[in-house]
Structure 1
Amino acid sequence: MLAETICSAVSAAGLGIAALTAYRKKYLGAARIAGWSLVPLGLVMTGAVEWAFDTVFSPVAWAGFGVLGAAWLLLLTTRGVERRRSGRQAVDGGARPAAVAPGASSPAAGSARVAPARTAAGAPARGGDAEDFSDIEAILKKHGI
């Protein structure tokens, strides 16, 4: 009963402010204020305010929120554990990369290093990183940068 009275008073005050705003010839603002001030009155008339206050002050409703929170926590925990386990299995079972073909042999662990290729000037050729930026370099040269 108190909540309905408060909401009705807020609506009446809002409509009064809207009337003053309209008196100052700010009709768009007055219409907006009137719209917002009618919301609490509409909530009272539909019974939503009574339902909300019954829910807020109900211990059974709060216990229900607690049960929902516990369920959410359990679901998140089990999902995290499941992801960890699948990650460990991938690390334990797949320490070495699998061969492309079933009959193919894996490369030797300590294979010799290949010397970097050299250009005609004797400077080492740029590796894969430079190839990634060749498009950007071409665009920059095109614009004279």
Structure 2
Amino acid sequence: MLAETIFSAVSAAGLGIAAVTAYRKRFLAATRIAAYSLVPIGLVLTGAVEWAVDTAFSPTAWLGFGLLGGAWLLFMSTRAVERRRGGTRKERRAATKAAQREAVAPAASAPSLGPGSAGQSKAAQPKAKPKAAGSGDDFSDIEAILKKHGI
């Protein structure tokens, strides 16, 4: 009963402000204010205020809201873990297969060996020698970078 009275008073005050605004020849703003001020009385007439008051003071309603919040937290945590892992198992398996198919050639990441190599044509550049398996030359790229910088 008290909520309905307050909502009706708010609605009447809003309509009064809309009338003053229309008197000042600001009809668009007056129409908008009138629309906002009719919402509280509409809520009273539909019974939404009584429902909201009953819900606010109902322990079972709050238990239901708590369960919905808990379900939402569980759902969001599983989504976060799934994103951190890189998707579902099926998506990860597809990504691994795609990465294996598109493997980068070993010579594609070889550093340039000197200041003149950028201006040379492809024919004048020395070709990279293929490495023998287990040759023990694992640090050749690092040595080339250090030599390039004079270290």
Normalized against structure 1, the TM-score is what?
0.57
Q: Summarize the Cα distance change of 1:28–1:67 in structure 2 as closer, same or farther, 3 Å threshold.
A: same
| CA RMSD across the alignment | 3.6
Query: Per-residue displacement from partner, 1:41-71 (whole Å, max 9, x unpaired)?
Result: 1111111111112112211111111111222
Instruction: Report the alpha carbon displacement of residue 18 of structure 1 after superposing the two structures with TM.
Output: 1.3
Q: Report the equivalent of 1:116.
A: 112
Alignment of 1:9-28 (within 5 A): 9-28=9-28
Query: Per-residue displacement from partner, 1:67-119 (whole Å, max 9, x unpaired)?
Result: 112222223334444556678x97xxx7xx7477xxxxxx99xx9x957378x
Q: Aligned partners of 1:77 and 1:115: how far apart in 2?
A: 43
Normalized against structure 2, the TM-score is what?
0.55
Q: Aligned partners of 1:26 and 1:85: how far apart in 2?
A: 57
Question: 3-state SS of the aligned residue for 1:116?
Answer: coil
Q: Aligned partners of 2:39 and 2:56: how far apart in 1?
A: 20
Task: State the AA in 2 paired with 1:116.
Answer: S
Do the aligned partners of 1:14 and 1:34 also contact (CA within 8 Å) in 2?
yes
Instruction: Report the alpha carbon displacement of residue 11 of structure 1 after superposing the two structures with TM.
Output: 0.6
Gapped runs of 5+ residues in structure 2? 120-151
Q: Aligned partners of 2:51 and 2:44: how far apart in 1?
A: 10
Gapped runs of 5+ residues in structure 1? 101-106, 127-145
Question: 3-state SS of the aligned residue for 1:25?
Answer: coil
Q: Aligned partners of 1:115 and 1:17: how far apart in 2?
A: 75
Task: State the AA in 2 paired with 1:75.
Answer: F
Q: Summarize the Cα distance change of 1:33–1:124 in structure 2 as closer, same or farther, 3 Å threshold.
A: same
Q: Report the equivalent of 2:68.
A: 68
Task: State the AA in 2 paired with 1:32.
Answer: R
Q: Summarize the Cα distance change of 1:115–1:60 in structure 2 as closer, same or farther, 3 Å threshold.
A: closer
Q: Summarize the Cα distance change of 1:6–1:115 in structure 2 as closer, same or farther, 3 Å threshold.
A: closer
Q: Report the equivalent of 2:38.
A: 38
In the alignment, is residue 47 of structure 1 matched against residue 53 of structure 2? Answer: no
- Length, aligned pairs only: 110
Over the matched positions of the two proteins, sequence identity in percent amounts to 62
